[in-house]
Structure 1
Amino acid sequence: MHFVTGGSFNGKAKWVREQYQLAERESSWISAYQGDEIPVLNGKQIIVLEGIEWWIRQINQTIPADECREKWQSLVREWLKWESMDQQRKLVLIGSDISKGIVPMAAEDRWWRDTTGWVYQDLVSAAERVDVIWYGISQKLK
């Protein structure tokens, strides 16, 4: 599993497309920004899940933060199992960093920000590789 994060509109999607040469390989791009739901993974070689923070927000609106985090931990275990079933499989998760800047005034926005931070910590822990993209430039963290 590869986790890619960085600021909004900083080139994460472009970097992933170039890194994995997605135009030339069998892949599936699923985006919360386009209204896609969290998928059941299929047989594609590379699956990109974009907009992790928006899926966290959707779940966080229906259940408490600790349960939301547990749900994400369960999803990650399923995804890692899917990925391990075939060496050609790769899951790439893209999530914008929403932890910087002014702390939101609304309680639900603060819970979203906090929960996203906790989930991202779990993703970084589980991921084989982690990159931060700022202004189109990558920095490999793991």
Structure 2
Amino acid sequence: MHFVTGGAFNGKSQWVKEYYKLNETPHQWISVYGGELPNLWTEKEAIYQQPFMVFDGIESVFKVWVQKYDVSDIRDMWRSFIDSWNEWEQNDPQRIVVIIGTDFSKGIVPLQALDRKWRDVTGWAYQDTVSVAERVEIVWYGIARQIK
């Protein structure tokens, strides 16, 4: 699993496309900016036939989840997601999972409690992702730095 993070509009998606030569590589790019993850257990076999999976915009999922669930449930749900995809990836050496998430932890502390919860949950989820990922990249202004 490869986790790519960095500031908003700093070139994360473009970097992933160029690094993995996705214009030449069969892949499934799933944008979750709508705030929902696909249901893995019913859809994985039918939809996810490509050996290369990209999940883009995961911070949006947490924004939706903090309005519906408590923090411990969100962490459990996210851990289940990354564990299932990590297992999917490990079952075939040709498979790669890339997760892209925006880092918005630097700067002003949000005034609204729900926005603070979103920021906190996103940070914890990113920590959980990093603990599973084999590789982690930070992209700022189109320049990537590998930190794991």
Please say whether Structure 1 and Structure 2 have the same fold, judged by a TM-score greater than 0.5.
yes
| RMSD (Å), alpha carbons | 1.1
User: Which residue number in structure 2 is paired with residue 20 of structure 1?
Assistant: 20
Are the equivalent residues in 1 in contact too, given 2:35–2:62 (CA < 8 A)? Answer: no
Tell me the TM-score normalised to structure 1 length: 0.95
Deviations 1:26-46 (A, max 9, x none): 10111122x373123412111
Matches of 2:72 and 2:95 in 1, distance apart? Answer: 30
Matches of 1:56 and 1:36 in 2, distance apart? Answer: 7
User: Which residue number in structure 1 is paired with residue 79 of structure 2?
Assistant: 73
- 1:137 Cα deviation from its structure 2 partner: 0.4
User: Which residue number in structure 2 is paired with residue 48 of structure 1?
Assistant: 54
Tell me the TM-score normalised to structure 2 length: 0.92
Are the equivalent residues in 2 in contact too, given 1:2–1:93 (CA < 8 A)? Answer: yes
Give the secondary-structure state (helix, strand or coil) at the position aligned to 1:133.
Answer: strand
Name the % identity: 50
Q: Is residue 2:44 matched to residue 1:38?
A: no
Are the equivalent residues in 2 in contact too, given 1:28–1:48 (CA < 8 A)? Answer: yes
Matches of 2:99 and 2:92 in 1, distance apart? Answer: 18
Structure 1: gaps of 5 or more residues: none
Matches of 1:11 and 1:95 in 2, distance apart? Answer: 12
Are the equivalent residues in 2 in contact too, given 1:48–1:93 (CA < 8 A)? Answer: yes
Structure 2: gaps of 5 or more residues: none
| Segments ≥4 residues shifted beyond 2 Å | none
Matches of 1:138 and 1:21 in 2, distance apart? Answer: 15
Q: Is residue 2:9 matched to residue 1:9?
A: yes
Are the equivalent residues in 2 in contact too, given 1:30–1:36 (CA < 8 A)? Answer: no
Corresponding pairs, count? 141
Matches of 2:4 and 2:129 in 1, distance apart? Answer: 10
Letter in 2 for 1:134: W
The 3 A distance-change label for structure 1 pair 36 and 22 is: farther
Letter in 2 for 1:102: I
Letter in 1 for 2:56: E
Matches of 2:64 and 2:78 in 1, distance apart? Answer: 12
User: Which residue number in structure 2 is paired with residue 102 of structure 1?
Assistant: 108
